[in-house]
């Protein structure tokens, strides 16, 4: 049976038919310009008893009543960051039962790393290097969110970030193109249920921010981007292409500009590349009031001019500013915006609503009973725990301090991140209840047979000392057998508008670490962060360091699982850790330059800083386990790779330790001579390999000419004959190279 919206619109004779393009065009022909502009308008949710309601005059409608009235009038197409099946049904009822055209409304959210159940932040999830896990997390998020009426997720963020100062790096998959591509595609598949968008538990994915936003100058959010077209195409566009190839039918244009052209009016990107070269058929939505910001950029005279430029450049929908709603009808009436362009944008929006099944089942995602049944399920919490376990990266483990014995040792848990409920879930958690998250203290206590052997001392605040804090921490440290320092960044130090000049542990916490380390007891650092940090002093010199990011709802349990050895850490860095803040932007796939620094002591007149070697503190791909893995040298199936053939590279790995582990084996390639300078290494593939104690296994990778392509001088992809180096290694700086030649 057809949905209510279609039945009311088309009548009984057409109710059994599919809502096809002809019917969409017929619907558009019935719309006024104001209703068309309404279909291109996305606004924020409001509720009864909004703060603004306190100031309204007697008899005036509430904020919620005003929003429902606008939906009935066809002035709103979509609403974001409102939740609840019952709330969503009110909006949908206004749209499909009470409006003239009966067009369903689209409910959207920012579910960046979970909806009600919070998973590790995306950068932490990328540290798992587990693409299948990322898809499962996105799928679980979609199931939970869709049960509350959500059909559209304003995620994933697929911005590649190579400057650790940029706060929004926490939302992406790190610094590498291949890793970002694979996670982008996995997240889209999970949200969209492998493109079964009409299913009630699927939601539309929106890769963002198109494109190159992660290259903001100085790592400063909202800042200018200066990129060559080659770098844009080779580094920053591929994750978007992977997301679209996986089926994403929406994309968000960024706040930023590239080379003087704001993303909102970059017609070559939005029309020529996105729709022309790639054949994208979905909708382009602005970021939050980004159309208005064109005035501040200085490319639009006023808001009206901003709307004209945005719609003509290819932005189909405006978020929150209501400028499309306000100005599009008059721009069309004046002939400044062709009616055909307005109709084109509306058609795209209606097609997406059709793909989501909203015309057939406008209330399909809006069941309070289903919402209650599918929120915070044991299965989702279990997945959150696994995701958190696999995100943890062991950076250091001197003298095999970890894992700690579960009993018999007095543990002093010290630091501002020992407890909760704040700073567990991380930034971008719009719908979480912090009380659901498990703190480090709670996780360790639950895992220890005698919780009396755990003492907890704050020691300092996040960015300021506290009276008597260090003295209390010293007393706890002296009474303990081992010190666990829970330190790092707060969740408000990462995310949007949270760029940092000094990517270090805050001074108050660094002073705490120095004081406690001087006691002379073994120290384990639990480093909470949304970015790569430059570590120093007692933190850098600690016996063991676990990078615990922001792990979400199951933070404490997952950390305890790793600290006490129930789980061997398997996370690997998706970003390079610099030695000092002044070394950023630092990324492994850098160019050699004409004066590369040799290994060993610093040398004058080479590409290095006078205070540092050219190496990172911890390399991209680095991560330790509770065992040791020995890598054999790579063996190639041949010394030459035929132009239209393939070549196999394999290596033998041996677990020389006493614990079973899962190793992330990484394949890197370097093009020795090319018409365009190439990075010193590029990740081309990776595999997860489980090894029992003492076990040896071969891992093999296939290489073809496609793996060796780059963007040439004519901005087209090409591969060139010549010599290549290949590594099979545990990180981007390890391993022994083998060589082969690509032959035409």
Instruction: Tell me the catalytic residues.
Output: 287
- Rounded distance, CA 602 to CA 323, Å? 57
Cis bond upstream, residue 656 (ω within 30): no
Helix, strand, coil in percent for the chain, rounding step 5: 35, 20, 45
**Helix, strand, or coil (residue 648):** strand
- Rounded distance, CA 291 to CA 309, Å? 9
**Helix, strand, or coil (residue 253):** strand
SS (H, E, C) 87-106: HHHHHHHHHHCCCCCCCCCE
Q: How far is CA 507 from CA 395, 487, 497, 502, 682, in A?
A: 21, 11, 21, 10, 36
13 Cβ neighbours under 8 A, 6+ residues apart: none
- Rounded distance, CA 488 to CA 704, Å? 43
Task: Find the radius of gyration of the CA atoms of the chain.
Answer: 27
Residue 520, Cβ density class (10 Å: 0-12 exposed, 13-18 middle, ≥19 buried): exposed
**Helix, strand, or coil (residue 604):** coil
Instruction: Indicate the helix (H) or strand (E) that contains 670.
Output: strand 661-671
SS (H, E, C) 528-586: ECCCCCCCCHHHHCCCEEEECCCCHHHHHHHHHHHHCCCCCCCCCCCCCECCCHHHCCC
- Rounded distance, CA 625 to CA 655, Å? 11
Q: How far is CA 14 from the centre of its chain?
A: 43
481 Cβ neighbours under 8 A, 6+ residues apart: 409, 410, 411, 521, 522
DSSP state of 723: E
**Helix, strand, or coil (residue 65):** helix
58 Cβ neighbours under 8 A, 6+ residues apart: none
| Residue among 58, 191, 73, 75 nearest 137 (CA) | 191
Dihedral pair phi/psi, residue 209, rounded to 5°: -115, 120
Taking CA 536 as the corner, what is the angle to CA 532 and CA 538, rounded to the nearest 5 degrees?
Answer: 125
């Amino acid at each position: 049976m057809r949905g209510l919206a279609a039945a009311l619109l088309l009548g009984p004779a057409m109710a059994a038919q599919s809502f096809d393009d002809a019917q969409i065009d017929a619907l558009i022909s019935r719309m006024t310009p104001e209703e068309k502009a309404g279909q291109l308008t996305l606004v924020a949710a409001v509720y009864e008893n909004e703060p603004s309601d306190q100031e309204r005059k007697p008899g005036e409608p509430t904020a919620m009543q005003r929003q429902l009235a606008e939906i009935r009038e066809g002035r709103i197409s979509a609403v974001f960051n409102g939740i609840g099946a019952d709330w969503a049904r009110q909006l949908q009822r206004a749209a499909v039962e009470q409006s003239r055209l009966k067009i369903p409304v689209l409910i959207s959210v920012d579910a960046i790393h979970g909806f009600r159940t919070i998973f590790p932040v995306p950068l932490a999830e990328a540290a798992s290097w587990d693409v299948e896990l990322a898809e499962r997390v996105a799928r679980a998020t979609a199931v939970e969110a869709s049960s509350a009426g959500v059909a559209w997720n304003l995620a994933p963020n697929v911005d590649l970030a190579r400057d650790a100062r940029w706060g929004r790096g926490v939302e992406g998959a790190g610094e590498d193109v291949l890793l970002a591509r694979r996670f982008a595609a996995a997240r889209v598949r999970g949200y969209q249920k492998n493109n079964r968008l009409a299913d009630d538990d699927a939601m539309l994915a929106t890769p963002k921010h198109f494109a190159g936003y992660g290259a903001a100058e100085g790592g400063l959010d909202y800042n200018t981007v200066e990129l060559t077209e080659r770098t844009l195409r080779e580094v920053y566009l591929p994750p978007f292409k992977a997301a679209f190839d996986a089926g994403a039918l929406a994309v968000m244009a960024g706040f930023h500009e590239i080379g003087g052209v704001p993303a909102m009016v970059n017609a070559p990107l939005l029309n020529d590349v996105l729709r022309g070269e790639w054949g994208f058929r979905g909708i382009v939505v602005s970021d939050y009031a980004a159309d208005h910001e064109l005035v501040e950029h200085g490319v639009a005279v006023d808001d009206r001019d901003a709307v004209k430029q945005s719609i003509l450049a290819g932005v189909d929908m405006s978020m929150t500013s209501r400028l499309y709603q306000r100005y599009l009808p008059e721009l069309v009436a004046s002939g400044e915006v062709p009616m055909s362009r307005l109709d084109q944008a509306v058609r795209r929006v209606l097609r997406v609503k059709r793909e989501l099944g909203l015309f057939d089942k406008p209330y399909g995602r809006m069941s309070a009973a289903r919402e209650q049944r599918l929120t915070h399920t044991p299965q989702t919490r279990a997945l959150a725990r696994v995701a958190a376990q696999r995100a943890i990266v062991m950076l250091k483990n001197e003298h095999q301090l970890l894992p700690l014995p579960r009993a018999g040792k007095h543990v002093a848990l010290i630091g501002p991140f020992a407890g909760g409920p704040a700073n567990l879930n991380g930034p971008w958690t719009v719908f979480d209840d912090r009380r659901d998250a498990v703190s480090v203290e709670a996780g360790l206590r639950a895992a220890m047979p005698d919780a009396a052997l755990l003492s907890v001392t704050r020691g300092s605040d996040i960015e300021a000392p506290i009276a008597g804090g260090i003295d209390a921490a010293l007393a706890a440290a002296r009474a303990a057998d081992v010190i666990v320092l829970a330190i790092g960044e707060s969740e408000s130090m990462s995310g949007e508008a949270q760029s940092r000049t000094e990517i270090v542990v805050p001074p108050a916490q660094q002073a705490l670490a120095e004081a406690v380390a001087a006691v002379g007891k073994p120290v384990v650092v639990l480093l909470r962060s949304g970015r790569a940090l430059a570590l120093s002093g007692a933190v850098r010199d600690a016996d063991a360091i676990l990078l615990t990011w922001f792990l979400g709802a199951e933070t404490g349990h997952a950390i305890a699982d790793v600290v006490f050895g129930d789980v061997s850490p398997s996370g690997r860095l998706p970003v390079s850790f610099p030695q000092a803040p002044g070394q950023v932007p630092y990324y492994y796939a850098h160019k050699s330059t004409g004066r590369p620094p040799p290994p060993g002591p610093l040398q004058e007149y080479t590409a290095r800083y006078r205070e540092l070697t050219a190496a990172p503190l911890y390399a991209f791909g680095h991560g330790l386990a509770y065992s040791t893995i020995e890598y054999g040298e790579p063996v190639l199936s041949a010394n030459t790779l035929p132009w239209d053939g393939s070549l196999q590279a394999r290596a033998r790995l041996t677990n020389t330790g006493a614990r079973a582990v899962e190793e992330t084996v990484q394949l890197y390639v370097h093009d020795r001579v090319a018409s365009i300078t190439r990075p010193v290494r590029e990740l081309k593939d990776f595999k997860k390999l489980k090894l029992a104690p003492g076990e040896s296994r071969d891992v093999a990778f296939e290489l073809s000419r496609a793996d060796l392509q780059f963007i040439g001088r004519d901005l087209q992809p090409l591969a060139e004959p010549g010599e290549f180096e290949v590594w099979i290694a545990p990180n981007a700086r390890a391993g022994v190279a083998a060589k082969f030649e690509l032959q035409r």
